[in-house]
Amino acid sequence: MIHKFSTKAEAFGIPDPKQVLWQVSHFEVRTGTDIIAPSAPSVPTKDEQDTTDALSHAKLKALMARTPDEVQAWVATSVKDTAALQDAVTTLAIAVGILARRL
């Protein structure tokens, strides 16, 4: 059987025998007859894991799904106090941090 997970903890939580593979945006765990070779688990780099973690960040995912006009409207209606502003800046900083690594 082949399972897909967004976090390392979920992937390695599957009981042995298993084969864990990093597939750009998720962990793929193969069990039973789907194991392709007896090998050590493939562990993603820090950048790969950080990208996966960022992609599973709920507020960032919601922001990614919006058009520029929708983002502008969201900021105008949602960012009303210091706490909301800090939350919005944190979400944007996560995205900028991931994107900056690719420059």
Q: Are 98 and 54 in contact (CB under 8 A)?
A: yes
Q: Please state the φ and ψ torsions of residue 22, each to the nearest 5 degrees.
A: -90, 125
**Position 36 in a domain:** yes
**Position 50 in a domain:** no
Q: Which domain holds residue 65?
A: 57-103
10-41 tens-digit pLDDT = 889 988 888 888 888 889 999 888 887 655 66
37-66 tens-digit pLDDT = 655 667 888 888 888 888 888 888 888 899
**Position 24 in a domain:** yes
Same domain assignment for residues 62 and 85: yes
The structural domain count of the chain equals: 2
Same domain assignment for residues 61 and 102: yes
Q: Is the model's pLDDT at 73 over the cut of 90?
A: yes
> How far apart (Å, rounded) are the C-alpha atoms in residues 1 and 5?
13
Same domain assignment for residues 78 and 36: no
Residue with tokens 């007896």: 38
**Position 95 in a domain:** yes
Same domain assignment for residues 7 and 33: yes
What is the pTM for the complete model shown? Answer: 0.52
